Amino acid sequence: MKLSARNILKGEVTKIVKGAVNAEVTIQLPGGEQVVSIITNSSVVSLGLKKGKEAYAVIKASSVMVAVD
């Protein structure tokens, strides 16, 4: 797999909550952090996602903002 995205985080699917059109997919990273993504239900099916399956969170953003109190 080759991608232009710089942030590719490998983890395990821990939760899938399906809605009418989209699903909320939670991926737990090795350090315990979780990444949550909203994807279509058809993408869940085509990727074969299910709890316990290894998956990647691929993050590509044109900008990342940092803030402090």
Place of tokens 């900008």: 63
Q: What is the pLDDT of residue 39?
A: 95
Residues (pLDDT < 70) of the chain are none
Q: What is the pLDDT of residue 12?
A: 97
The verdict on residue 68 lying in a domain is no
Q: What is the pLDDT of residue 67?
A: 80
Domain span at residue 29 reads 7-59
The separation between CA 52 and the C-alpha centre of its own chain, rounded to angstroms, equals 13
DSSP one-letter code for 48: T
Number of domains comprising the chain: 1
Question: Could you tell me the CATH number of the domain that includes residue 17?
Answer: 2.40.50.100
The verdict on residue 20 lying in a domain is yes
Whole-angstrom CA distances from 34 to 17, 20, 21, 64 are: 15, 23, 23, 18
The verdict on residue 69 lying in a domain is no
